[in-house]
Homo-oligomer: A and B are copies of this chain.
Amino acid sequence: MTSTWLSEINWSDDGLVPVIAQEAESGTVLMVAWMNRDALKLTVEKGEAVYWSRSRKKLWHKGEESGHTQKIKDIRLDCDGDVVLLSVEQNGGIACHTGRHHCFFRKLENKQWVITSPILKNPDTIYKK
């Protein structure tokens, strides 16, 4: 079976594409991660976000350990075909590994990055030892 839709993506030299996860209900930009072809294919098949972990060099079914899965509402591609945008339902309301709702919790104020979002859950209790 061909996967033309996958070939329409401008994969990087490493075979990856950056992916933005946006919360469907609130519009909040939750996080940015990466996918390879397998990750995006699995994301569509499962209906949940599966990324490629560049640090661990393996597929990463987001939430498989923490329970903070992302249910896919829709998948979009930009004009250049080199960025993917997911609209998701964030299970547990926590997308960030720091235990926050989203990853963009530092805001520039007077040339300083100020933390603006609370930790909702201690990361030590999110991840198994």
| Chain A residues with a Cβ under 8 A of chain B | 3-5, 8, 18, 20, 22, 26-29, 31-32, 44, 74-80, 83, 85, 96-98, 100, 103-108, 111-113
Contact = CB atoms under 8 A, between A and B. Distances in A.
Contact of A78 (B28, B32, B108, B111): B32
A113 B4 CA distance: 10
Contact of A76 (B44, B85, B104): B104
Given A32-B83, A79-B98, A83-B104, 6 more contacts: A3-B111, A18-B32, A20-B29, A27-B28, A29-B29, A74-B107
Chain copies in the assembled complex: 2
A104 B22 CA distance: 12
